[in-house]
Amino acid sequence: MISKDDISRTVKRYKPSKITIGTICSHSALQIFHGARQEGLRTTGICTADRRFVYDAFKLGKPDDYIIVDDYQDLIKERFQGELLRKNVVVIPHGSFVEYVGAENLKREFHVPMYGNRSALEFEGDRRKMRTWLQEAGVKIPREHEDPSKIDRPCIVKFHGARGGSGFFVVDSERRYQEQIENGIKKGTISESDLSEATIQELVVGIRYYPQYFYSLMFQGEVRAGEGRVELLGIDRRVESNVDDLYRIPRSENGPEIEPSYVVTGNIPVVLRESLLPKVLDLGRRVTEASVKLFPPGMVGPFCLETVCTDNLEFVTFEVSARIVAGTNLYPEGSPYSCYLFSKPMSTGRRMALEIKEGIRKKRLADLVS
């Protein structure tokens, strides 16, 4: 198990002028490299040989240099970790980073300083822990049923881990639940082992908003939590196949019913009615406060909430992403919210670089990594 003290010692050995931002070339890497470059930090991309051309195709988004791997799990090998440590790399763990390298590997074997709090990734990866976190925050969350016989309204059935909505389905009775499970197993979209981890959650009716926050330990401001401030850096919503375009398909009386699916394919920008901002800022503050309590120093850096705003203008939060989300890729030059916080274009990628620079300046980088 990697301890926070080991990482603190490692980062204290780094040369401040050599600190380099590194991540796997996927997910939000263009934004992360671009933002680090805007702040004058060096960058390293961990990449497979066949993907390198994608990054080389964007001269302001590509990293300064690459570490080429055959498989991202190779990063655990001493040789690659040694290279990252020699380059004084602080790794940014985006969603694909955690998925490709593996949460357990990161926890047990990855000695390279990672930006943020590794415990947060654990809370994100375990639906039960995530629910405890949201309950501790005192925010409204959807009802859940342990037992399918209790299904009495439309419910979404989810499986373990961040699978981008793949394999999820909606049912409104126990009978439909059993049918869908059988179908999924036949088609191979659900495995027997998934079943023990299935969550049956009330399908919240309303409009989805996914606010993107940043918890800063380096800057002070109005929305405070723990010892830092909570910033709203942007809002997006996901575009999911096929559910988001189902309305375009004419319904026939006798034809087969089309089952909605929830596979994330992209993101679109949104802004909220300004009078709803107090609620969204309060959500971010509460979730951060709870994180400080449950896993100090809390949700350091970027995080995102997945919410539905009902027609009572109430936000129901059904998921937390405890790291940079791909929806932030909409705003490489800042968003309709970040522009009121910073006088320069501020993406989430750049915001992390700015925080790291401030950590270096205040000799507190060890507080920002784990």
| Residue placing its CB nearer to ligand AMP in the complex, 184 or 334 | 184
Query: Inter-axis angle of helices 127-137 and 118-125, to 10 degrees?
Result: 110
* Least CB distance to ligand AMP at residue 295 (A): 21
| Residue placing its CB nearer to ligand AMP in the complex, 173 or 241 | 241
Q: Looking at 31, 38, 96, 201, which residue binds ligand AMP (CB under 6 A)?
A: 201
Q: What is the DSSP string of 23-92?
A: EESSTTHHHHHHHHHHTT-EEEEEE-GGGHHHHHT-TTTS-SEEEE-SSGGGGGSHHHHHHHHHTTEEE-
The sheet carrying 89-91 orders its strands as 65-68, 42-47, 20-24, 89-91
| Residue placing its CB nearer to ligand AMP in the complex, 262 or 331 | 262
123 is a contact residue toward ligand AMP (CB under 6 A):
no
* Least CB distance to ligand AMP at residue 123 (A): 14
Cβ neighbours, 10 Å, residue 32:
31
240 is a contact residue toward ligand AMP (CB under 6 A):
yes
**Which of these segments, 37-45, 86-94, 171-179, 202-210, binds ligand AMP (CB under 6 A)?**
202-210
| Residue placing its CB nearer to ligand AMP in the complex, 260 or 345 | 260
236 is a contact residue toward ligand AMP (CB under 6 A):
no
* Least CB distance to ligand AMP at residue 168 (A): 6
From 354, 291, 361, select the one nearest 115 (Cα to Cα).
354
Q: Looking at 121, 204, 230, 346, which residue binds ligand AMP (CB under 6 A)?
A: 204
At 57, the amino acid letter reads: A
First to last CA, the chain: 12
Report helix, strand or coil for 145.
Answer: strand
Element (H, E) at 6: helix 4-13
Instruction: Give, in degrees to the nearest 5, the angle at Cα 110 between 164 and 323.
Output: 35
**CA–CA gap between residue 342 and residue 346 (Å, rounded):** 7
For residue 23, the cross-strand partners are: 45
Q: Looking at 14, 72, 177, 262, which residue binds ligand AMP (CB under 6 A)?
A: 262
Residues 205-224, interacting with ligand AMP (CB under 6 A) = 208
* Least CB distance to ligand AMP at residue 99 (A): 13
203 is a contact residue toward ligand AMP (CB under 6 A):
yes
Per-residue contact flags (x/-) with ligand AMP for residues 275 to 314, judged by CB under 6 A: -------------------------------x-x------
**CA–CA gap between residue 317 and residue 210 (Å, rounded):** 9
Confirm if 35 and 347 have CB atoms less than 8 A apart.
yes
142 is a contact residue toward ligand AMP (CB under 6 A):
yes
131 is a contact residue toward ligand AMP (CB under 6 A):
no
**Which of these segments, 24-32, 200-208, 270-278, 335-343, binds ligand AMP (CB under 6 A)?**
200-208
Instruction: Give, in degrees to the nearest 5, the angle at Cα 368 between 367 and 370.
Output: 90
Rg, Å, the chain Cα set: 21
SS3 content of the chain, % helix, strand, coil (to 5): 40, 25, 35
Residues 311-340, interacting with ligand AMP (CB under 6 A) = 318-319
**Which of these segments, 92-100, 201-209, 269-277, 326-334, binds ligand AMP (CB under 6 A)?**
201-209
Nearest residue to ligand AMP, scored by beta-carbon proximity: 165
| Residue placing its CB nearer to ligand AMP in the complex, 42 or 238 | 238
Q: What six digits make up the tokens of 272?
A: 């909220």
Catalog residues that contact ligand AMP under the rule CB under 6 A. 142, 156, 158, 165, 168, 201-204, 208, 238, 240, 262, 306, 308, 318-319
